[in-house]
Structure 1
Amino acid sequence: MPTLDIALMGNPVLARLASPVEDPGDPAIAALVADMLETMTAANGVGLAAPQVGRSLQLVIFSVPAERTADGIGFPPTVLINPQIEPLGDATDEAYEGCLSVPGLTGRVPRWRTIGYRGLGNDGKPIEREVSGFHARVIQHECDHLWGRLYLSRMRDMSSLAFADELRRQIEAAREVEQPETAPSAMGEDA
């Protein structure tokens, strides 16, 4: 299974609406999923959408690390084909996000706090969940790729856009001065 090249901001595949996957059982889809999983792992990402690897298809993969959930229970790598999301309430949260297609940068992005999502798994069986927090953020971020959007287009205030390494240095410097309980929280992972 090869790792795939990740499309970078400016690549037209990232700016167009992805096509539905017609046959989730197609062996070519299974092969794409395997390559995407390897690519996501090699890039240290928590999510990857097919357009990010040059395939304009409604297919995302993601994982949710246990340390990023309120209950300490994560989700292993999951495939979601032809996903649909729906906000459950009006509440939003704003947090830093990064993206494998926008390497090195991070910015604060508002997202619905709780969503419902549905689609098909890699086995063609329906998946339907209600999630909140980081899990909801990852799904929204990845589905944006299917709709031709990058997180930058969702930012309310571009002054939060920063190089991730510089922001980490600033956070570490603040922690040296402040007590750990009051230091700024770490930013989001690349998806």
Structure 2
Amino acid sequence: MTVHYRRIFKSHQTGVATIRELLQTMFVGEMLLVGKKIWIVSPWVSNVVLIDNRSGNFDTLNPEWSRREIRLVDVLVALMARGCHVVIVTRNLETNTPFINVLSDVAERNALESQVTIKIHDALHTKGILLSKCLLMGSMNLTYNGLEMNDEWIQFSIDSEDIAKTRLEFSMYTVGV
């Protein structure tokens, strides 16, 4: 029997490293085999650390990053530069504004505005990260507290049917855009 998903129950004491490693692996994988479109759906979102490159292990992914912690905006812009369209669905909250502004500014500076869609949905409670070959869904917002502090339930899936159904559901957020 092939297992296509994994459930993770995280508290501020357990599972934090698991979530960090999972997100790092997901986004490194996406950098290696860039898809056409990815989705980040989170009512609260911030420029969290995704990849720990302080040791230089990921220098070949993007030599411009240097040896430091690589944040969400860095990864998204690198994916956009490789042809991936990034869709962010979030709420109109003051805490999301810095992330949205930084992503928009960096995309504009790199002439990548056409590669990003930011959709504000004030009734949003859904949370998920949908990459080309995997899906992470659950209770976790993409924030420091979501990754490090809060108790969260997360499910990681590589099931192609699950990914396809979620892609259809997420596309409803951008109907008419």
Alignment TM class, shorter chain as reference? under 0.3
Say which structure is richer in strand.
Answer: 1
- Relative contact order (C-alpha < 8 Å, sep 6+): which is higher? 2
TM-score normalized with structure 2 length: 0.24
Say which structure is richer in helix.
Answer: 2
TM-score normalized with structure 1 length: 0.23
